Structure 1
Amino acid sequence: MAKDGQRPRKPRTPAADRHRPPSMADVAAMAGVSAQTVSRVVNGTARVDDATRDRVVRAVRMLGYRPNTAARALATGKFRMIGVISFDLKAHGNARTLESIVSAVQSTEYSVNVVVPQAQTQEAVLDAFRRLSGHAVDGVIVNEAQILPGSLMLPHGLPVVVVDGGDDHRYPGVHTDHAAGAELAVQHLLGLGHPTVWHLAGPQDSHPARRRAEAWQRVLRAAGAPVPPVVHGDWSADSGYRAGRELAGRPEVTAVFAANDQMALGLVRALHDAGRSVPEDVSVAGFDNIAEAAHFLPPLTTIDQDLSRVGAACVERLLSQIEGDPSADSSVVSVMPSLVERDSTAPPRG
């Protein structure tokens, strides 16, 4: 019994103290270990036996303890933060690649900080790097850097991986094999008996669009087929519709390879409005295999990009650099796409 007949006070606990967040000492007391052991478990800096680790993890979760990021960075030399610079999130490939990068990072001890430059200029890229550096990132993934030439000097010593970049940058890269995908689409249409294949291409400053267009032309020439003039869109269904109005007026057009599914959607609508049916009059193939492609009318033949693999490969390559893996290199990893045949392509009439 305390003095003056008062009950003894219970020790203060984080749950009882609403003005103080739980500390490492609180976790140590609950788990029955030292604060140094808690630090080892939280930072992963040393081996701790499984039973002790489980007790610490349970205490962390029960108390809602959040490690001091700055202190952990000083101790480990790492901030456990990955920066991502991504352009034009309206584009399916960019949005899906970003989604897959975030998903891959969530299975690690790292977090993600995303910057979306409002302009595709070298100054905008450097500004994005400065903003990410101010948030203390350990490395950066650049998602479809159309304007990242070999002459652009990025911050020295910061690990970088480039997704769908050009051929002249000197950083490790990951990309879909856009040329192989285009070849599959064009060979499929030629194999159905079409005398040639027209191409609704993406923007001229897009590396993926250029690779797809170059492969389209290469396959036609190898087959001895005529090479029609390229029609360019901007990845949107509206631009596909505008191009479709032009192509619908050409009776010699019996097959079109669109550089993405959204443009293919606009193209199909324009052909329908002009009284030309798909695939009876014109076969249409797209690229991306967006979730809605199977529900187009008719369902769209397209090229499936394995963007989950692309995102996972980006994160794996960046973490190899961050962790100092001696096998990390500056090569470019290609992910092979596949053809998905649906009802929008068929042999030509007659």
Structure 2
Amino acid sequence: MSRAGSTSAGAAAESVPPARTRPPSQADVAALAGVSSQTVSRVANDKSNVDDETRQRVLAAMEMLGYRTNTAARALATGQFRMLGVISFDLSAHGNARTLQSIAAVAQDAGYSVNVAVVRAPTEGAVRQAFSQLTSQAVDGIVLIEAQILDRPELRLPPGVPIVMADGNPGQRFPAVDNNQLVGARAATEHLLSLGHTTVWHLAGPRDSYSARHRVTAWHTALKEAGAPVPPVSYGDWSAESGYVIGRELAARDDITAVFAGNDHMAIGLIRALTEAGRTVPDDVSVVGFDDVAEAAYLQPPLTTVHQDFEEMGRACVAVLLRQIEGGESIAGLIDSVEPRLVVRASTAPPPKRPRTKKA
């Protein structure tokens, strides 16, 4: 005869819970697992003072009963909601979408859910509204992806919510995780110069983009340091369409032998425009992109590009945020840099030996 309170994990797993018309309670879990309600509470709140065998027995009972923890009660007990917020200005952008995907995966591994707010207009009011939306849904901290609005010193955000910036300029107010745009753009420009091109033209992203501005700065600096002429910048909007439209203008110039595109999608549009104009890549014009999207290696020709590690960006963002949430650290002004790397493929080559002549 077994004694009361000695139910094993196997017995709990094999028991058949009685039919019920209400949601299961902690008392139901406790009865099935043969423990106290206080022990169930400790397991639900992920406390460490429960031995492994008892924890597994309680978890098995929770699963069998379909028990779900009361997040509000857990928040009162732990001071945390286990929810992270993300604010983004453009989730259609490749880098933003990949960073968000990584944040969600890493947060889930750490036991957090993710709630997303998309800001359609980069205004102070829109950012405040997004903050209000997320904080009303009880988030423990917020990641802002390329939120150039935070460059403005007059912007005031509600205190008490840990924040980390991803690919943006936080000044000294917030910690940030940044793909090192300067290193990546310099590598792209110097690669083309090393092949013998006398200069490099630049098809940049939007003027108001933090990432685009830093890539323009690095490109300009690399040319100046090499003593190369600095051509005028052409500004696109990250889309293949804008790369194509601007590419048609660049393709009409016989003096262009190398172009650094601010991202891979604009590079794809540019290559199509060059091809339609009878300019061969890379025999007539070399092209370098930025991001290393999945399609880059399968283009014709395969695209030389700067690889950004968006998975590492997401991991670093969550790590910096959890340092504030769980560790109570004050780390305003911290910059955690993720280094990109140049991936050389077949879209770059030395410049043509002879000047291009127009067809009759």
Shorter-normalised TM range: over 0.9
Q: Does the 8 A contact of 1:100 with 1:308 survive in 2?
A: yes
Amino acid at match of 2:132: R
1:299 corresponds to which of 275, 278, 302: 302
Using the TM superposition, give the Cα deviation of residue 324 of structure 1 relative to its aligned residue in structure 2, in angstroms: 3.1
1:281 corresponds to which of 259, 280, 284: 284
- CA–CA distance in 2 between the matches of 1:326 and 1:126? 24
2:112 corresponds to which of 94, 110, 113: 110
Using the TM superposition, give the Cα deviation of residue 327 of structure 1 relative to its aligned residue in structure 2, in angstroms: 7.1
Using the TM superposition, give the Cα deviation of residue 75 of structure 1 relative to its aligned residue in structure 2, in angstroms: 1.2
Between stretches 59-68 and 124-133, larger displacement belongs to 59-68
Amino acid at match of 2:155: L
Q: Deviations over 1:257-287 (max 9, x none)?
A: 0000000000000000111010000000000
Between stretches 27-36 and 176-185, larger displacement belongs to 27-36
Identity among equivalent pairs (%) = 61
- CA–CA distance in 1 between the matches of 2:248 and 2:342? 26
- CA–CA distance in 1 between the matches of 2:105 and 2:123? 28
2:138 corresponds to which of 136, 139, 147: 136
2:344 corresponds to which of 318, 338, 341: 341
Amino acid at match of 1:323: E
Using the TM superposition, give the Cα deviation of residue 319 of structure 1 relative to its aligned residue in structure 2, in angstroms: 0.9
TM-score, structure 2 normalization = 0.91
**Corresponding residue SS for 2:348:** coil
TM-score, structure 1 normalization = 0.94
Q: Does the 8 A contact of 1:237 with 1:265 survive in 2?
A: yes
Using the TM superposition, give the Cα deviation of residue 169 of structure 1 relative to its aligned residue in structure 2, in angstroms: 5.3
Between stretches 304-313 and 37-46, larger displacement belongs to 37-46
**1:99 counterpart = 2:122:** no
- CA–CA distance in 2 between the matches of 1:150 and 1:295? 44
Q: What residue is the counterpart of 2:91 in the other structure?
A: 89
**1:166 counterpart = 2:174:** no
Q: How many residues in Structure 1 have an aligned counterpart in Structure 2?
A: 337
**Corresponding residue SS for 2:295:** helix
Q: What residue is the counterpart of 2:202 in the other structure?
A: 199
Using the TM superposition, give the Cα deviation of residue 325 of structure 1 relative to its aligned residue in structure 2, in angstroms: 3.8
- CA–CA distance in 1 between the matches of 2:17 and 2:91? 43
Q: Deviations over 1:11-69 (max 9, x none)?
A: xx86511x211111111112111110111111023411111111111112222210011
Amino acid at match of 2:104: V
Q: Deviations over 1:132-183 (max 9, x none)?
A: 1110111111111021123211111110001111253510100100010001
Q: What residue is the counterpart of 2:269 in the other structure?
A: 266
Q: What residue is the counterpart of 1:26 in the other structure?
A: 28
Q: What residue is the counterpart of 2:155 in the other structure?
A: 152
**1:36 counterpart = 2:38:** yes
- CA–CA distance in 2 between the matches of 1:186 and 1:336? 16
- CA–CA distance in 1 between the matches of 2:298 and 2:46? 47
- CA–CA distance in 2 between the matches of 1:134 and 1:14? 37
Q: Does the 8 A contact of 1:14 with 1:21 survive in 2?
A: no
Q: Does the 8 A contact of 1:41 with 1:56 survive in 2?
A: yes
Between stretches 243-252 and 51-60, larger displacement belongs to 51-60
- CA–CA distance in 2 between the matches of 1:330 and 1:63? 47
- Classify 1:330/1:52 alpha carbon distance in 2 versus 1 (closer, same or farther; 3 Å): farther
- CA–CA distance in 1 between the matches of 2:352 and 2:188? 19
**1:331 counterpart = 2:356:** no
Q: What residue is the counterpart of 2:252 in the other structure?
A: 249
**Corresponding residue SS for 1:65:** coil
Q: Deviations over 1:73-124 (max 9, x none)?
A: 1111111111110111111111111111111101011111101112121111
- CA–CA distance in 1 between the matches of 2:18 and 2:221? 69
**1:67 counterpart = 2:62:** no
Using the TM superposition, give the Cα deviation of residue 326 of structure 1 relative to its aligned residue in structure 2, in angstroms: 3.8
Between stretches 306-315 and 149-158, larger displacement belongs to 149-158
Q: What residue is the counterpart of 1:4 in the other structure?
A: none
Tell me the C-alpha RMSD between the 2 structures.
1.3
- Classify 1:216/1:41 alpha carbon distance in 2 versus 1 (closer, same or farther; 3 Å): same
Using the TM superposition, give the Cα deviation of residue 249 of structure 1 relative to its aligned residue in structure 2, in angstroms: 0.8
Q: Does the 8 A contact of 2:173 with 2:332 survive in 1?
A: no
Q: Which runs of 5+ in 2 are unaligned?
A: 1-15, 354-360
- CA–CA distance in 1 between the matches of 2:82 and 2:41? 15
- Classify 1:15/1:196 alpha carbon distance in 2 versus 1 (closer, same or farther; 3 Å): farther
- CA–CA distance in 1 between the matches of 2:111 and 2:161? 19
**Corresponding residue SS for 2:279:** coil
Q: Does the 8 A contact of 1:40 with 1:48 survive in 2?
A: yes
Between stretches 236-245 and 53-62, larger displacement belongs to 53-62
- Classify 1:320/1:15 alpha carbon distance in 2 versus 1 (closer, same or farther; 3 Å): farther
Using the TM superposition, give the Cα deviation of residue 333 of structure 1 relative to its aligned residue in structure 2, in angstroms: 0.7
Q: Does the 8 A contact of 1:150 with 1:170 survive in 2?
A: no
- Classify 1:97/1:15 alpha carbon distance in 2 versus 1 (closer, same or farther; 3 Å): farther
Between stretches 250-259 and 142-151, larger displacement belongs to 142-151
Runs (4+) of structure 1 exceeding 6 A deviation are: none
**Corresponding residue SS for 1:284:** strand
- CA–CA distance in 1 between the matches of 2:48 and 2:56? 15
2:47 corresponds to which of 40, 45, 48: 45
- CA–CA distance in 1 between the matches of 2:341 and 2:66? 45
